Amino acid sequence: MQFPSPRAIVKRWLTASPPREVSLHSPLPVSECARRLSDATTPRRAADYFVPGIARQTGPHFQGSVAVKGRVQFARYSEARRGSFPAWLDARLESANDGGTVLTGTIGESPRSARSRPFVFGGAIAVSVGLLVAGTVLLAVVPSSAPVAVVLIAIALAYFAWLEAFNRMMERRIARNSELLLEDVRAVINSGEQR
């Protein structure tokens, strides 16, 4: 079994996974799909959390935007509010040949999460490397401080292991949230009769 290089591991920690292509079909026209998605979407504003009724809304609920020209950008409301690595849908509503709608675009890590990733992981990597270097230098310069140096090195290695575990958990959660988001979008654009 070949292990990835440290450079590849750090690059994976600092960069977001590429979004995957998605395509959903609805028998309803574009205008109806856009209206339904718009009705289920709350704009991204901090004050919206305090608007009565949002927390009690039943059915699928998104946070983001649905543009007039058919561009949708949103996450599931529950994940977006908690900040629990929401999956982000960035897609267009287009007319299908059968008179229905095709929603095509990408789904993956939210832009906000992707922008903060280098800061969170970069700081953690700097602390880990600092502890590792301090332990190694202390061990080399002052051999009598071996127990302290070993503890510093062990903390650094444990921190690296935690970073890898956290990154894997984050990627799994984004993948799971992506599937939940697609299920909710399907439910909204395919449910019931046209109004």
| Domain layout of the chain by residue ranges | 20-111+177-189
The architecture of the domain spanning 20-111+177-189 is: 2-Layer Sandwich (3.30)
Q: What was the pLDDT predicted at 131? A: 93
Tokens of 169: 């958990």
Q: What was the pLDDT predicted at 24? A: 92
What type of residue is 145? Answer: S
pLDDT for 125-155, tens place per residue? 999 999 999 999 998 999 888 999 999 999 9
Q: What was the pLDDT predicted at 65? A: 85
Q: Strand 41-42 to strand 20-26: parallel, antiparallel, or no bridges (unpaired)?
A: unpaired
- Residues in the chain with pLDDT < 70? 1, 44-59, 68, 81-84, 192-195
Nearest to residue 37, comparing CAs of 83, 105, 98, 85? 105
> Are the CB atoms for 93 and 32 separated by under 8 Å?
no
Q: What was the pLDDT predicted at 61? A: 81
Q: Strand 62-66 to strand 71-76: parallel, antiparallel, or no bridges (unpaired)?
A: antiparallel
Q: For residues 16-31, b (16+ Cβ closer than 10 Å) or e, as one string?
A: beebeebebebebbbe
How far CA 44 is from CA of 73, 89, 104, 106, 112, in Å, comes to 10, 14, 22, 19, 12
| Apex 4 CA angle, 110 and 21, nearest 5 | 30
Q: What was the pLDDT predicted at 16? A: 74
Non-local CB neighbours of 73 within 8 Å, separated by 6+ positions: 64, 65, 88, 89, 90, 91
- Model pTM score: 0.79
Non-local CB neighbours of 118 within 8 Å, separated by 6+ positions: 14
> Are the CB atoms for 78 and 61 separated by under 8 Å?
yes
